[in-house]
């Protein structure tokens, strides 16, 4: 049994990981989370208090990070500013948290010789053409498009430098788009589900031809545990479940599953610099570490996610008005 310091554990994927790790391992978990607009303490409700502790604080606070890292056997680093549209409106918190915050954690892990796992995104690789047979691999050159993905790319490179220069025992994973319960309503899938619940037509950026490679958050968590347990120091593992869908298909599936007509959506202004397609080749993770995704039926996973948002309105209702006000101010 060991203690994991999980940063960003009150956010969407971090809280999914905490729940997954509590169920599937004997680890104790300390969550370090600043509780930004994107988080919800309630995402950790119902977990055993003798195994999960929430510390409210900033990953850029060097003395707090040092104190918590000293007591941990491993750091699993999820905390970030994560929404591309926000990064286009104001990049500065992205630089502070994603770059300075990651640097602060790396320095603490270096001092205490702590195992470190860095959570990142496929967006660091830029985008692919729709008809390109290629997928992203760990060898694909970095080519980020947005302030968000540029800061995530920078944070990955910091981790690689700390491995090479200081011998830090670190691994990195770059995952594709996640879906599932407890995702903030600013993100594509929960925004459209909660719009339909509110009798508002879903909003499709541009023509809707952009492709994302969807994976359920629980499959992401299982992959992170496999890397923590069996991953090789200094290696980068790509996480994806062969879930490529264009945005129009996703909106139409949501509409159908919620009993609405498949054309009951609106086209809105496109995102500047909008990446066209992401696709992950996860064969290294599958072959080397034996991971396979469990959620292989996207429509079934989406149906369960819709049910969760229908049954947990009290969880998301407080986020909705602010998220939509921000979107309407920017024409989305």
Asked if 100 and 60 count as a contact pair (C-beta separation under 8 A), the reply is: yes
What secondary structure does DSSP assign to 5-67, as a single string?
Answer: EEETTTSHHHHHHHHHHHHHS--EEEEEE---TT--GGGGTTS-TTTEEEEE--TT-HHHHHH
263-282: which residues touch ligand TDX (CB under 6 A)?
A: 271
Which one of ligand NAD, ligand TDX, none interacts with residue 188, CB within 5 to 8 A by kind? Answer: ligand TDX
The number of CA neighbours under 13 Å toward the Cβ of 112 is 19
Cβ contacts of 92 within 8 Å, gap of 6 or more:
none
Which one of ligand NAD, ligand TDX, none interacts with residue 204, CB within 5 to 8 A by kind? Answer: ligand TDX
Per-residue binding letters, 118-137, with ligand TDX (x by CB under 6 A): ---x-x--------------
Q: How far is the CB of 261 from ligand NAD (least distance, A)?
A: 28
Residue 187 is a binding residue for ligand TDX (CB under 6 A) = yes
Closest CA to 3 of 33, 25, 30, 21: 30
Residue 210 is a binding residue for ligand TDX (CB under 6 A) = yes
Q: Of 19 and 83, which CB lies nearer to ligand TDX in the complex structure?
A: 83
Return the residue of 27, 34, 77, 83 that touches ligand TDX, per CB under 6 A.
Answer: 83
Asked if 1 and 28 count as a contact pair (C-beta separation under 8 A), the reply is: yes
Which one of ligand NAD, ligand TDX, none interacts with residue 58, CB within 5 to 8 A by kind? Answer: ligand NAD
Distance CA(184)–CA(82), nearest Å, equals: 10
Residue 97 is a binding residue for ligand TDX (CB under 6 A) = no
Residue 184 is a binding residue for ligand TDX (CB under 6 A) = no
Catalytic residues: 122-123, 148
Distance CA(192)–CA(185), nearest Å, equals: 8
What secondary structure does DSSP assign to 99-161, as a single string?
Answer: IIIHHHHHHHHHHHT-EEEEEEEGGGG----TT----B-TTSPP---SHHHHHHHHHHHHHHH
Which stretch of DSSP H or E encloses residue 215?
A: strand 215-216
Q: Which residues bind ligand NAD (CB under 6 A)?
A: 7-8, 10-14, 32-36, 38-39, 58-60, 78-82, 97, 101, 119, 121, 152, 175, 177-178, 184
Return the residue of 98, 247, 252, 282 that touches ligand TDX, per CB under 6 A.
Answer: 247
Q: Of 27 and 190, which CB lies nearer to ligand TDX in the complex structure?
A: 190
Burial of residue 53 (CB within 10 Å: 0-12, 13-18, 19+) is middle
Which one of ligand NAD, ligand TDX, none interacts with residue 210, CB within 5 to 8 A by kind? Answer: ligand TDX
Return the residue of 188, 214, 298, 316 that touches ligand TDX, per CB under 6 A.
Answer: 188
Q: How far is the CB of 57 from ligand NAD (least distance, A)?
A: 7
Triad 46, 47, 53: Cα angle to 5°: 125
Return the residue of 34, 77, 203, 320 that touches ligand TDX, per CB under 6 A.
Answer: 203
Q: How far is the CB of 1 from ligand TDX (least distance, A)?
A: 31
Which one of ligand NAD, ligand TDX, none interacts with residue 87, CB within 5 to 8 A by kind? Answer: none
Binding residues for ligand TDX (CB under 6 A): 82-84, 121, 123, 177, 187-188, 191, 203-205, 210, 212, 247, 271, 332
């Amino acid at each position: 049994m060991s203690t994991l310091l999980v940063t960003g554990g009150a956010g969407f994927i971090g809280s999914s990981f905490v729940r997954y790790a509590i169920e599937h391992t004997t680890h104790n978990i300390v969550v370090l989370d600043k509780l930004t607009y994107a988080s919800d303490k309630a995402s950790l409700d119902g977990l055993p208090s003798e195994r999960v502790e929430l510390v409210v604080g900033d990953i850029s606070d060097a003395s707090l990070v040092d104190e918590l890292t000293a007591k941990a056997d491993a750091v699993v680093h999820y905390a970030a500013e994560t929404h591309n549209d926000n990064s286009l409106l104001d990049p500065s918190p992205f630089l502070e948290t994603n770059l300075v915050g990651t640097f602060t954690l790396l320095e603490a892990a270096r001092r205490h010789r702590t195992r470190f796992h860095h959570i990142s995104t496929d967006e660091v690789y830029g985008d692919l053409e729709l008809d390109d047979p290629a997928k992203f691999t760990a060898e694909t050159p970095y080519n980020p498009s947005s302030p968000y993905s540029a800061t995530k790319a920078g944070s990955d490179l910091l981790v690689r430098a700390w491995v090479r220069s200081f011998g830090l025992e670190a691994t990195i994973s770059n995952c594709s788009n996640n879906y599932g319960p407890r995702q903030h309503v600013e993100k594509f899938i929960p925004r459209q589900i909660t719009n339909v619940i509110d009798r508002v037509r879903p909003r499709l950026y541009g023509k809707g031809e952009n492709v994302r490679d969807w994976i359920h958050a629980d499959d992401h968590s299982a992959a992170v545990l496999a890397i923590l347990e069996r991953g090789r120091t200094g290696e980068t593992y790509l996480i994806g479940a062969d879930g490529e869908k264009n945005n129009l298909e996703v909106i139409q599936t949501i509409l159908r599953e919620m009993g609405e007509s498949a054309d009951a959506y609106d086209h809105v202004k496109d995102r500047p610099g909008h990446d066209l397609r992401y696709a992950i080749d996860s064969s290294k993770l599958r072959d080397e570490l034996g991971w396979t995704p469990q959620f292989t039926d996207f429509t079934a996973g989406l149906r369960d996610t819709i049910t969760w948002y229908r049954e947990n309105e009290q969880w998301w209702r407080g986020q909705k008005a602010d998220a939509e006000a921000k979107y309407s101010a920017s024409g989305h």
